[in-house]
Amino acid sequence: MIARRVILIGGVIAAGVAGSAVGLASGGGSATASGPASGMATAAVIRTTLASRQQVSGTLERAGSYTLVSQQTAGTLSELPSPGSVIGRGQALYRVDGQAVRLLYGAQAAWRTLALGVTDGGDVVQLKRNLKALGFTDHAALTVDDHFDWATAAAIEEWQHALGVPETGMLPLGSVAFLPGAVDVTTQRAVPGSPAQPGTPVLDLSSTDLVVSVPLDPSLRQLVHVGDRVQIQLPEGQTTAGRVSQIGAETTRANRSSGTSASVPVTVSLDRPRDARGLDQVPVEVGITDTVRRNVLAVPINALLALANGGYGVAVEDQGTRTLIAVTPGIFDGNQVEVSSSRLHPGMRVEVPSS
């Protein structure tokens, strides 16, 4: 009987003819021969944890987009950044009467002047986090909490001194803008010389961070949890690691073919954003874990042989003796496959193609 080398195609195993094949004995035990098959190497049988993944489609895109509006009650827009400019923490977003409106990081929008006497609040926490990140802590006296105290005012004065502006210890409404992170300027919504009026759109911005948005089929919702690790396949075939950062509520939208379709919005952050540098609004595939098998035996996928009398086997090499052992395949994980057999043990060497 002949055996054929197994190939994995799209998650399904197929067989290709392999030379020097040996069939199982009629009792289903093993067949032996002397010496390895030509053109073959060996790999160890290992005991490990494997996880199989299901591929779902997503889109690699910017983490967010924003329209920045003026909060000043008077003045003239004197300077706007060009589209394509990247602006980070503490840098100028635009200028009014020559005075910079600076970017600070935070989820809550600026809504009041920040100075001694204001009530405690989340905007104060944001401010203190930024002052600390910028290196202004009033000689380490600044404590990151929701209370605006004298150390906060002193830290602001340190920042103002470094910027070369009047040291007031306060930030008037409109002098800073809180956004989740660094931004790219995409569009100028006003022109220099325009009046700075409250609510006037000034700039369209997009986050510099990339995420993957996945409209997940509701039937797969139980497989996905915030914090789960995933593998992302980028357009040219390379893969990069990510983590589920957010899961939204199920939504329904119109669909031409079926009338409506439901999905669960899932957001995946990238562990190494540099792997996707220069990409935006491109389709990707995300591998989510659907099965985990612990403490199982595994061999390389290309060690599997499709047996002529049905089933699968591996060719075990031991001191020049080649033994074909029947195995039951389990889940696939990368280039490894779970195998089970009472005759297979960790440390055994199985044949694999040498190239």
Q: At what angle do helices 122-134 and 150-163 cross, to 10 degrees?
A: 50
Nearest-5° Cα angle at 334, 333 to 338 = 35
> Region 183-208: what's the mean pLDDT?
94
The residue ranges of DSSP E strands in 168-320, in sequence order, are 176-179, 183-188, 201-207, 210-216, 229-233, 239-247, 251-255, 259-270, 282-300, 305-307, 312-318
What integer best gives the mean pLDDT of the chain?
88
CA-based radius of gyration for the chain: 31
Evaluate if residue 282 carries a pLDDT over 60: yes
- 95-106 tens-digit pLDDT: 999 999 999 999
Q: Torsion-angle region of residue 112: left (phi > 0), alpha (psi -120 to 50) or beta? A: beta
Most confident of 5-14, 264-273, 286-295: 264-273
Share of the chain above pLDDT 90, in %: 73
Quick one: three-class SS letters along 20-63? CCCCCCCCCCEEEEECCCCCEEEEECEEEEEEEEEEEEEEEEEC
SS3 299: strand
Q: Which domains does the chain have, with CATH numbers?
A: 3-50+293-353 (2.40.420), 54-62+209-292 (2.40.30.170), 65-207 (1.10.101.10)
Evaluate if residue 233 carries a pLDDT over 90: yes
Q: With bands split at pLDDT 50, 70 and 90, how would you rate the model's confidence at 205?
A: very high
**What does the alpha-carbon distance between residue 122 and residue 128 come to, in Å, rounded to a whole number?**
10
| Amino acid (1-letter code) at residue 313 | G
Q: With bands split at pLDDT 50, 70 and 90, how would you rate the model's confidence at 15?
A: low
Do 349 and 318 form a contact (C-beta atoms < 8 A)? yes
User: Could you give the C-alpha distances from 67 to 12, 34, 183, 187, 199, in angstroms and in order?
Assistant: 48, 74, 11, 9, 10
Q: With bands split at pLDDT 50, 70 and 90, how would you rate the model's confidence at 93?
A: very high
pLDDT at 110: 96
